[in-house]
Amino acid sequence: MNVVQLQYFIKVFDYQNYSDAATVLSVSPQAVSKGIRALESELGLKLFEKRGSILHLTNYGEEILPIALDVLASVEGIQAYAQITREKIKITQTRLTRVAVGLAPILASWFNQPTLNRLSKKYKGGKFTVSRYDDGGTCLSLLLDRQIDIAIVAGQVDTNLFESHFLLNAEVNLLVESSHPLASRATANLNAVARYPIANTCDIRYCRKRINSVFNHLGLSPSYENINLADQQNLSDFLIHKHGIILTIASQASQFRIGYPAKIVCLGEQDRISIPFYCVSNSNDTQAQTHHAISCIQLEARQLSRCLKSAERGDLSS
């Protein structure tokens, strides 16, 4: 049984003969007759009986008719949805001209120029431009002012002013000086980390609550110290003499550059942080454009996540 046979069944009921039904369906009367016979054969029931030149439903046909109508209505609903969705996708893709993205420093280790280049090549006609700001709060302020289309920040933002989309779950890592006691460990643990001062930089401002909750759950109280990553003397004193650590969400496979020799140590998969990004729109066109950009970025993030996991396993072939 297929949809075409059900369409034949409905039209023969409407017009009470094969010829008129075939005209409406743009097929031959023989095709309609053959389709009805095949349907009757599969069901093992006679659906029509001929009285003179007119085809009438049998009792079985009358019972099946409302079911067939419901099935066709559902099929038509699916087809209509698919058509509307295709049109929306087409419109969105054609309107994707420029998407301005605001990025907090915590994400700079992976959302970089090569990523933008891949997006631009993959989605022809679309231009993704990224501006880096001091922290996630700046990104969100610019988002509200419509100066950027998308803000990518780490951590939760408790407000209904934005539409939130989760990007990926990234491991919380430690960035330590190469000779740091933790640098030789394959996987650090939070008990060891809590013994050293943590850099209170803008990079962790929006994940500080999440980090503290992990420490507090284990009964640990980390200490934070304000440092300036751009001040090499301050950074050197913090990393070498104080054995300080910098919390990041950079992957072990990433090249995190702060202008000082350092090593990234993974905290472990149990300590993860979600990265949401937010968008606001003031028109339907902008909304379509930003939503398409979101789908592009999400796809790129999933692919990136798989690549990073493969790199961490030492499998660089995928």
* Predicted confidence (pLDDT) per residue in 152-168, tens digit: 877 667 677 888 887 76
Integer Cα distance of 318 and 117 in angstroms: 20
pLDDT at 316 over 50: no
Average pLDDT, the chain: 77
Instruction: Indicate whether this model's pTM tops 0.85.
Output: no
User: Bridge partners of 262?
Assistant: 177
**Cβ proximity of 190 and 245 under 8 Å:** no
User: Bridge partners of 49?
Assistant: 56
pLDDT at 93 over 60: no
Mean pLDDT confidence for 6-29: 91
Integer Cα distance of 110 and 128 in angstroms: 15
Of 3-7, 90-94, 273-277, highest mean pLDDT? 3-7
Helix, strand and coil content of the chain, in percent to the nearest 5, comes to 45, 20, 35
b vs e for 257-282, b when ≥16 Cβ sit within 10 Å of the residue's Cβ? ebeeebbbbbbeeebbbebbbbbbee
Integer Cα distance of 93 and 191 in angstroms: 49
Residue 69: what pLDDT?
Answer: 87
Residue 131: what pLDDT?
Answer: 82
Greater confidence, 284 or 15?
Answer: 15
CA angle, corner 147, sides to 290 and 117, nearest 5? 55
**Cβ proximity of 135 and 205 under 8 Å:** yes
**Cβ proximity of 32 and 18 under 8 Å:** yes
Find the radius of gyration of the CA atoms of the chain: 31
Mean pLDDT confidence for 137-152: 85
Amino acid at 281: S
Mean pLDDT confidence for 187-204: 79
Percent of the chain with pLDDT over 90: 14
pLDDT at 253 over 50: no
At residue 100, φ and ψ (nearest 5 deg) are: -95, 125
Q: How confident is the model at residue 60 (pLDDT cuts 50, 70, 90)?
A: very high
Q: How confident is the model at residue 35 (pLDDT cuts 50, 70, 90)?
A: very high
Percent of the chain with pLDDT over 70: 71
At residue 284, φ and ψ (nearest 5 deg) are: -65, -40
